Amino acid sequence: MSTLLEGKTVVITGAARGLGRECAVRFAHEGADLALLDIAGDLDGVGYPLGSRSQLEHTAELCEQQGSAVTAAAVDVRDTAQVETAVKEALARFDTVDVLVNNAGIAAPSGVVLHEISEPDWSLMLDVDLSGAWRMIKAVAPAMTEQKSGSIINISSTAGLVGYRNFSGYVTAKHGLIGLTKAAALDYAPHRIRVNALCPGSVRDNPLVEGRMLVEIARSLDVPTGEYEGLFLRDQPMNALIESSDIAGAALWLAGDDSRQVTGSVITVDGGFTSR
């Protein structure tokens, strides 16, 4: 086991599967203790299954196998009381929260032109993908401020940097997350709390972490299941989809002390997609 995060406690939202699981297991391998949060159930208005309780428990087991102390809780980031309770429980168990990874997010409801989006669908997207991160930062910031250290990592997207047709809600939320990152970085810099954003490109749905974000984006675009990887691959300058491990590696760097002077930054892991 490596020790880049030894002695640190990491809170990860959306930890049941996908990027959340990849980050959790990678951080556990580097010596971190973990508070794993996920809605652990489906959500009205999202037309695909979200992370489940059993998937969250499996993520916890994988981390415990690395020697980490782990807590896991079902938390809806739209609910302030649930968020605050989860952070209080993490502090009670581990004394500190050193790293927050705001990974919880939804890709749907999407796939329609802007004027066809209903107000509930618009509000749902912003409440999960943008306001959920704000609630989590609001909950952990007092403890980080008191200890005069911390790293907050917001998982945005290339949709936070460019537009995508028929995804205006998602694009708006992810652009907003970058704005939140920059504003929070300035607010908390005097307290040695760093806030950065990661912008993944098209991440392959790795079955080992049960990722399914790319296939759901394809479904929203009515792209056949057997064709979606090839469709996204055509736009990749490096001729390869991004792996979930690529994102976890970048998050690990932002979580650790080697990036201690990095804050307010937006780091793309997109194979050159936004360089075109």
Let me know how long the chain is.
276
The answer to whether 174 and 104 have CB atoms below 8 angstroms apart is no
Distance CA 9, CA 6 (A): 9
Among 193, 244, 239, 185, CA closest to 214? 244
Left if phi > 0, otherwise alpha if psi is -120 to 50, otherwise beta: which for 171?
A: alpha
- Residue 241: C-alpha distances to residues 100, 113, 155, 272 (Å): 26, 26, 17, 11
Beta strands at 193-200 and 99-102: parallel, antiparallel or unpaired: unpaired
Please state the three-class secondary structure of 58-88 as a single string: HHHHHHHCCCCCEEEEECCCCCHHHHHHHHH
Please tell me the distance from the alpha carbon of residue 198 to that of residue 188, in angstroms, as a whole number: 18
Catalytic residue among 48, 170, 188, 228: 170
Burial of 79 (0-12, 13-18, 19+ CB in 10 A): middle
User: Quick one: which of 171, 228, 173, 224 has its CA closest to 204?
Assistant: 228
Check if 170 is active-site. Answer: yes
Asked whether the beta carbons of 140 and 150 are under 8 A apart, the reply is: yes
Are 225 and 115 spatial neighbours (Cβ–Cβ below 8 Å)? no
Which residues are identified as catalytic? 170
